[in-house]
Chains A and B, each alone.
Chain A
Amino acid sequence: MTLRFVLNGAKTELDAHPMARLLDVLREECALTGSKEGCGEGECGACTVLVNGEPVCSCIIPVAHVEGAAVLTIEGLGGDHPLQHHFMNEVGAQCGICTPGMIMAAMALGPAPTLEDVKTALAGNLCRCTGYAAIYRAVMKWRGLEAPPSMVAE
C-alpha cells in the first residue's frame, strides 16, 4: 500500500507492506541506517525513533502505524546537534551502536530533567559498554545541568 508520513521534516510517500516493520522500512527503503537493530523485540532501544515526538521502538511498530505521523530519526537531527556533540565529548558513545537510539530517547526529555528523570527516560535503552554514567553526563550537560559530583569526569 502507499503510505504517507513526514520523515525528518520532509513529506514522504512510499510503497510498503503495511505490516512491514518501521525499522526495516527506514533502513532498507529510506536508506536511513542510523537506527539500529539490537534485538528486534522491543527490549534494547537501539531502534528508537520519535513518532509525533514520542520515543518508540521501530522494530516492533508496523509501518502502517505511522501513516500521517511525523517520524524523526537520528538523521533528522542533522550532524551538528548539541546533544550529539555532548555524547562524543563525554564519551557517552563507546562502540556507538546504542547511541542513535539513546539520543532519540533523550530528545523526548523535558527542559530541566533530574538525574532520576534521565534514568527513567533511558530505562528502555540498553548500553553494554558505558555503564550509563557517561551518557548521563552528556545529557545533563546538554540541558545545562551539573551532574552529581561523583559523576563528573575529571
Chain B
Amino acid sequence: MSAVGNSVARKDGIGKATGAARYADDITFPGMLHGRTIRSTIPCGRIRSVRLDFDTTGFTVVDHRDVPARNAVDLIAQDQPFLVEQEIRHMAEPILLLAHENRERLYAVPVEVEYDEGEPLFDPEKSQQVFKTIDIVKGDTSSALADAELVVEGTYRTGHQEHVYIEPNGVIAVPEDGGIAIYGSVQCPFYVIKALRCLLGDAHPNVRVIQTETGGGFGGKEEYPSMIAGHAVMLALKSGRPVKIIYDRAEDMVATTKRHPAIVRHRTGVTRAGRIVAMDVDVLMDGGAYVTLSPTVLSRGCIHAAGPYRCDNVHIHGRTVFTNTPPNGAFRGFGAPQTEFAVEVHIDRIAEALGMDAVELRRRNALRPGDTTATGQTLRDDCSALMVLEEAVRRTDFDRKREEYKGSNRSVGLSLFYHGAGFTGAGERNLKSKARLELTAGGVRIAVGSTEIGQGTRTMHAQIVTDALGIPYEDVEVAQPDTSRVADSGPTVASRTCMVVGKILEECAHEMRDRLGGLSPAEYHSRHGPLTVERMYEPPDWIEWDDALYRGDAYATYGWGCDVAEVELDPDTFEVRPIRLTAVQEFGRPIHPALARGQIEGGTAQGLGYALLERVVMHNGAMANGQLTNYTIPTTLDTPEIDVVMMENPYPGGPFGAKGLGELPMDGPAPAVVNALRQLGFDVREIPATPELLSAGSRLG
C-alpha cells in the first residue's frame, strides 16, 4: 500500500493525546528566570522617563541601551525596534524587560513610565504614510468602464482578526557553550535566526533556534516570535541564565499581530448579458505602526482581488499604510480573505443589478484553462473554477434551496474562490529553499526547517519520502527543527510546506534511491556508513514574473474552492446560526486525506468566525476585548456541520500532484455567509456580521 493518498498514522505519535508532548511552557532549565515585558500605555508619543520604584536586587533589567548591535527586527524593513528608545508608535510597544526567578515577584513590581503624548492616527483613510503601493494593470480599464452597459460599485470592509492559537506565544533563551539556544513556539526558526543576527551582530555567532511543539500558528507565529526571542536573548545574555518568556492570553492578544483590516472598493463594468468587461479595484490595508510583513500581505491581497474571473480590463490599486496601532501581520490567507470577501459579495450584487442568477453570472465569467488572470498569467489545465462551482451547486441542490427558502428565515449563499500556492512570483526562486535527507542505521531522517504546527508537516513529508524512496513509512523519521542541524527549507507559510518543500524532499528521495543502488538503507549504512542528500528547490522553468510591473506568473498553481453556506436567522435577536457549510475544494491531490480534511474543516471554522463572531474592538489604539471572554471564536455550539468535498486535479509540479492547501479554506466562508444574508434582505458590506451590525444596517427593498 502506498503511503501517499492514505491516512497513515500521524508521525506525532500519541504524545499529543497523552500530555507528553512538550510545548515551550512545559520546559524548564536549571537556574531559569522568568521574563516580563514592560509596554507602552499610550499609542503615540515620546518617553520622558522610566522609573523602577523597587529594590532591583535579584532582577535583571534590560532596555534599549543593552542592545548588542542593531535595535531593529529584521524583516522587510528594519524599522521596528526590539525596545523603544524614545518614540512610541503604538500601544503595548515593548520598552523595558525584567527577569526574576520568582514569577509572582516579577509581576508584582511597579514600573512607572512618563510620556509626552502625541496625537495618534487611527484612521487608515487619513494616513499619509504609505508603506507600499501596488498597481496591477491589464488592458484599458477606464475606457472599458466608460463603454460598459452597466457599472456596479461597492465598498466592502473587513475587520481585524485575532489568531487565537490556543498556546500563547513563548520562548526560552538558554546560554550554552559558546553560544545561545532559543527554544520556542515558532513557525519560522530561520526568521528568528535572521532577526537575532541583526540584533546581536558578529559578536555572537553561535545562535541556534529549536522549535518546540507548537500549539497552533495560523501565521501568528511567523514574525512576532523574532521579537520575543530577541527579548529573551538579551535577558539571558545579561543575566547569564536561561530566561523564559511566556505571554498570557491578554498580552498575546493586545501586543501581537492580527489580520489586516481592509477597505476594498469595486467598480465593475458588465454587459447586459452578464459578461464582466472591466474591473477597477482599490485596496487599502491598515498596516499598523511598522512595516513588518504588510507589503507582502498587500501583494497577495491585490493579486487575488479580481477573484477567479476572466476579464480583459483590470486595474487593481493597493496600498498599505501606517496607523498608531500594533502592527498587523501574517494570518492564514495573507490578504486574500479580505479581497476575496469583497469581490464575492460584489459579484452577488452585480447579479442582482443585472437581474441574473448569481451562479449563472459566475459560470459565465469563471476562469478556465487558457484564460489570463489580472497579472496576465495564462492558466493551465490545473484550473478548476468551473468544476468546483458545478459540484457545489449540484451537491447542495443550491437552486432548489434558493427558491424553497424564499420568504423564510433560512437561506443559502455561495462563494467561488482561489488561492495561489507558494511564494509570489520570483519568491521561490529567490528563496533557494533546501531540504536534506540523512541515512540512519535503519532508514532515513528528514532534516528540514519546516515546522509542524498542527497541520501535519512531519506526517506528509514522511509519506512523500516513503513512496519516493520505496521504504516502509515506519523507517522514515523527522528531525525536530533545530537551525544548527536542519536545512533551511524556507518559512512555514504561504501553503508551501507540502507543495514546495515536499517536492524537494521527493527529489532528495529519488537521488538517495539512486545512490543506494538497490541496497536498503540499513544495508547501505552498515556497509558504507552515513549518507546525506541535500537539494535546492527548482521552481518550474516557465515561471516569468516582473516585480516592478506586477505582471506574469504570480503563482505556479492555484487551489480552487466553492463554499455554500446555509444559515438561519433569529428575527428577534438578529443572531445568525450557520446550519451547514459545504466546502468543495480542489488542491491537486491530498497526500493524507484525513489531514487535508482537517485543514478544510479547521480553516472553514476560522472563516465562519471571521464572518460572524470575531470582532476586535479597538479603543485608543489597543484591542479593548483582549480576553477570550469578550473575543469569541467558534465553539462546538457555533460550528455547524462542515461537508467537505475534496476534488482532484493534479499539479504536475507538486509532489504526487499536490498543491498547497493550508490557506484556501479561509477565503470562502465569509462571502458565502454574507451572500446568504443578502437573500434574507440584509445589505451587508462588512464583516463580522454581528447582530448589532445587522440590526442597525440597511435592508434591501
Measuring CB to CB, which residues of chain A are less than 8 angstroms from any residue of chain B?
27, 32-41, 43-44, 46, 73-75, 77-79, 83-85, 87-91, 93-100, 103, 118-120, 122-134, 148, 150-151, 153-154
Nearest chain A CB to B12 CB, angstrom units: 7
- Output the nearest chain A residue to B165 by Cβ-Cβ distance: A128
Q: Which residue of A lies closest to B637 (CB)?
A: A123
Inter-subunit contact A38/B627 (CB<8 Å): no
The answer to whether B598 and A130 have CB atoms under 8 Å apart is: yes
From B9, B21, B213, B601, contact of A131 by CB (8 A): B601
Contacts A36-B23, A95-B215 given; does A74 touch B18 at CB 8 Å:
yes
Across the interface, B601 reaches (CB within 8 A) one of A34, A74, A130, namely: A130
B216 proximity list for chain A (CB < 8 A):
94-95, 97, 128-129
Contact between B14 and A36, CB atoms less than 8 A apart: no
Residue of A nearest to B630 (CB): A43
CB-CB under 8 A from B13, the residues of chain A are 88
Residue of B nearest to A94 (CB): B454
Contacts of B14 in A (CB 8 A): 79, 84-85, 88
Number of interface residues of B (CB under 8 A): 58
B642 close to A96 (CB less than 8 A): no
Nearest to A86 among chain B residues (CB) is B17
Closest to A74 in B: B19
When each residue 472-497 of chain B gets 1 if its CB lies under 8 Å from chain A and 0 otherwise, what string results?
A: 00000000000000000000000000
Q: Find A150's partner among B453, B604, B643 (CB 8 Å cutoff).
A: B643
Task: Label chain A's interface by main secondary structure.
Answer: loop
Q: Which residues of A contact B603 (CB under 8 A)?
A: 131
* Contact A95–B598 (Cβ < 8 Å): no
CA distance A78 to B20 in the complex (A): 10
How far, in angstroms, from A11 to B26 measured CA to CA in the complex? 24
Asked if B249 and A40 make an inter-chain contact with CB atoms under 8 angstroms apart, the answer reads yes
7 contacts between A and B (CB under 8 A): A41-B627, A88-B14, A91-B595, A91-B597, A99-B16, A126-B166, A131-B642
**A5 CA / B629 CA spacing, docked (Å):** 31
Q: What are the residues of chain B within 8 A of A84 when measuring CB–CB?
A: 14, 17-18
B interface list, Cβ under 8 A from A: 7, 9-10, 12-23, 25-26, 163-168, 213-218, 248-249, 453-456, 593-595, 597-598, 601-606, 627-629, 633-637, 639, 641-643
A87–B593 Cα distance when bound, in Å, is 16
Chain B: minimal CB distance from A25 (Å)? 14
From B167, B454, B629, give the contact of A36 (CB < 8 A): B167
Contact A132 B641 (CB under 8 A): no
CB distance from B647 to the nearest CB of A (A): 13
Q: How far is the CA of A39 from the CA of B17 in the complex (A)?
A: 20
Give every chain A residue within 8 A of B627 (Cβ-Cβ). 39, 41, 43
Q: Is the CB of B641 within 8 A of A85?
A: no
Chain B nearest CB: distance from A85 CB in Å?
A: 7
Residue of chain B at shortest CB distance from A119: B636
Chain A residues in 8 Å Cβ range of B642: 131, 133
Bound form: Cα–Cα A41–B626 in Å: 12
Name, among B18, B20, B604, the residue most crowded by chain A CB atoms within 10 Å (CB to CB).
B18
**Residues of B close to A77: CB separation below 8 A:** 18
A residues near B629, Cβ cutoff 8 Å: 41, 43
Q: Which residues of chain A are within 8 angstroms of B635 by Cβ–Cβ distance?
A: 123-124, 126
A41–B249 touching, CB < 8 Å: yes
Smallest distance from the beta carbon of A54 to chain B beta carbons, Å? 19
Cα(A97)–Cα(B634), bound, Å? 17
Choose among A39, A89, A134 the residue with the greatest number of B CB atoms under 10 Å from its CB: A39
B18, B164, B597, B643: the one contacting A128 at CB < 8 Å is: B164
Min distance, Cβ A80 to any Cβ of chain B, angstroms: 8
